[in-house]
Chain A
Amino acid sequence: MNSATTDEQTRTLHWQKVSSWALLYFVVHFSVRFIKDGLLNLLPMLVVFVTQVENKLFWAQVAGAIALVSLLVYSFLYFLNFRFCISDENEILLKKGVFKKERITLSFARVQNVNVAEPFYFIPVNLVNCIVDAAGSVSQEVVLPGLTKDYAQQIRKQIFAFKAQQQETKLDEQSETDITENSLRISNKEIAKFGLMSNMAILAIAALAPFINMLIDFLEKEIVSKVEGFYQQELGIMANAATFAMITLIAMLVLMAVMLSVTMSLIRFYNFELYFKGQKFKRIAGLLERHQLSMSMDKVQSIVIKQNLMGRILKRFTVECLQASSGGAIAGVAAKKNKQTLVLPVLSAEKVDSVCQWIYPWFNSKKLAFKRAERALLYKNLAFYALFPSALVFGFCFITETNSLISLGVLAVFSGLVILSYQRYGYYLHEDNGRFYMVVRKGMIGVHYRVFELYKAQSARGISTYLMRKSGLKSLYIQLASGFAFMPYIKQQDADFIIDFTIKQIESDTRSWM
């Protein structure tokens, strides 16, 4: 403690306050947090309120007023206590908190990204938020709200200059003439297609899950009966009015979900601009908040190219550049939430190739000669996932004396899915200028490619059963800092070679993987 104080005294720290407009950011930030995290916790109280309280409107107004005042007071106190400092020792220091005071020290060396976001409420006053991401074994984010654009850019430059100095040798290898800027713009019409491809509406529906019963009751009372009445009175349909009303309701709900998805996509990716220069991505997008994300290629652990069913119909892919998500699946979700993943939505096959070629000049999706899984995988999966379930269905049909042809239908559908999945599995190894890459493909109706450089792998594993060993087969599992690559049922000698070779790459390559 003493040494820390002495240390602080010897250093000259210039603590700075953020602009008064930053209060707006804190109000919005805590409102969003309250809605996202707090409301679910207040659900039991809400249930008591709905079922027990008589004068609901009055008490709702009182509760709302208290919540609003508390929010404003808390945001104001938070703003008063918020101080930051860029120290001479290349650190960002932060003091914040109301009830629990926190002090954060973030070394420039640990910074992964510096993003400049321009929320809609800062546009009139020309201010931005500077978001500093640090990912290591503990995911961390520092947000400096309400800075001027120039100052945010200055901080960004300062951090990257420090990091560049650290990696000087690396930069020396790259001559200035090599640096060319590539760019990509995606029209908002295309972004709307991403809404159709993604399942963002499901997230909104999931949020409504606790209220689903109330919602169904409400829809039944308020909508279905009225639509039914409309069909009966206006169109003279009597017999099937209820069915028509239900179909209309379902169609409306689907349409609303689609519209919601499209809207959410537009909010996230509006006026999408992507630049790639000097091994660094810069993406600017967003409707309510112009979010600027910078990502160095060194930090990208793997690239995922995905196409789901809707993507196949629209002939579009989504590309994701993933960074390290230490701490498992939860941290992986957090990484996405923290916008550490660079998502490039709705790209045509040609654009996927051209974007991937910025990073991997050798990449050409049409020339990837995938080695497929051995046929034993197909036989095993047919037995386990098609024959076995259909035998169960047959048994069920036999006992309940229903039409046993259903089991044939189950067999046909499941066999089809198993065959599709088997055909998708494949891997491809590539050498380019002494660097080794792997592409792993999987999928069923859609397709999913993962591209990574072998030396970035974290660990490698071979898995085999007795029968697989008898047939000279092995499954391959490569753990990455962002997900994993799994290739089942390949020849044992190939799997062993890939494992040994990957390990050799990890152990002999002196480049930093993070």
Chain B
Amino acid sequence: MFNNQQIMDLPKHSDISFKPLADKALLHTQLNWLAFYIPLIGVLIAVCYFNETFANNAQTYLLIGVPILVVISMLYNMLGIKLQGVAVRSHDIVFKKGIIWQQVTILPLARVQHIEIHRGPIERKLDLASLKLFSAGGVSADLQISGLTHDDCKNIRQFVQSYRQENTCPELEFADE
């Protein structure tokens, strides 16, 4: 039977102080959302322009609803970015995220199978990057951290690589996109 005795030196993840994402992470998220909203608004304007009946029925609701939706998602993004944080410890990487469902994920470096760094056009402009860390068995990346500076991503990748070499873990796969 398992004996749950107090272990004094057990490092507690609840005590970790997380590093916030890069300053431009919020701008990146907002721009990403705008890239979704602008075509949507464009389509709605076009429908209203060509379909008078739809315009008469929906115009007022759209004029009130869409700006509210945009403002709510911007506030949601602000809160979301504020609640995200990453911590690199000597043996693992910890990432917290979530507004309604808050998650703290700990990925030991010894279990990292594959690392990817993604940079979209907006990210390249803002000198940001997204980091994906994969272990075995997961459906997708175990950790997917957007809004880190490109330098931070490269440093984390280098750190994981050095850790794996020092600890003679099996070869790691890297990808830069």
Contact = CB atoms under 8 A, between A and B. Distances in A.
A429 B7 CA distance: 16
Interface in A481-509: 481-484, 496-497, 499-501, 503-504, 506-507
A497 B14 CA distance: 10
A428 B108 CA distance: 23
Given A137-B113, A328-B138, A459-B135, A429 B4 contact: yes
Given A431-B3, A500-B11, A458 B101 contact: no
Contact of A481 (B2, B98, B104, B137): B137
Contacts of B140: 328
Looking at chain A, what size class is its interface with the partner chain? 35 or more
A329 interface: yes
Contacts of A481: 135-137
B107 interface: yes
Contacts of A76: none
A480 B138 CA distance: 8
Interface in B59-110: 91-92, 98, 100-108, 110
A436 interface: yes
Interface string A361-398: 00000000100000000000000000000000000000
Interface string A285-323: 000000000000000010000000000000000000000
B173 interface: yes
Contacts of B92: 503, 507
Given A301-B137, A324-B136, A500-B13, A463 B114 contact: no
B136 A326 contact: yes
Given A429-B4, A497-B4, A503 B108 contact: yes
Nearest to A466: B100
Given A431-B1, A458-B137, A507-B108, A464 B10 contact: no
A253 interface: no
B12 interface: yes
Contacts of B105: 459-461
Interface in A227-281: none
A34 B167 CA distance: 46
Looking at chain B, what size class is its interface with the partner chain? 35 or more
Contacts of B106: 459-461, 499, 503
Interface in B105-159: 105-108, 110-111, 113-114, 135-140, 142-143
A407 B103 CA distance: 36
A326 B113 contact: yes
A324 B135 CA distance: 11
Contacts of A506: 108, 110-111
A459 B111 contact: yes
A324 B137 contact: yes
A496 B2 CA distance: 16
A318 to B, nearest CB: 21
Contacts of A501: 7, 10
Contacts of B4: 429, 497
A459 B13 contact: no
B139 A329 contact: yes
A479 interface: yes
Contact of B142 (A332, A459, A465): A459
A69 B138 CA distance: 43
Given A137-B113, A429-B4, A503-B106, A480 B14 contact: no
A465 B100 contact: yes
B2 A430 contact: yes
Contact of A459 (B10, B107, B114, B139): B107
Nearest to A509: B110
Contacts of A466: 100
Contacts of A479: 135, 137-138, 142
A329 B139 CA distance: 6
A325 interface: yes
The 5 A-B pairs with the shortest beta carbon distances in the complex, nearest first, are: A429-B2, A458-B135, A481-B136, A481-B137, A328-B139
27 contacts: A326-B137, A328-B138, A332-B137, A430-B2, A431-B3, A457-B111, A458-B137, A459-B142, A460-B105, A461-B106, A462-B13, A462-B104, A464-B102, A465-B100, A479-B135, A479-B137, A481-B137, A482-B137, A497-B4, A497-B10, A500-B13, A501-B7, A501-B10, A503-B13, A506-B110, A507-B92, A514-B136
Given A458-B137, A479-B142, A484-B137, 15 more contacts: A328-B139, A430-B1, A459-B138, A459-B143, A460-B106, A466-B100, A481-B135, A496-B12, A497-B4, A497-B10, A503-B92, A503-B106, A503-B108, A506-B110, A513-B111
Interface of B: 1-4, 7, 10-14, 91-92, 98, 100-108, 110-111, 113-114, 135-140, 142-143, 170, 173
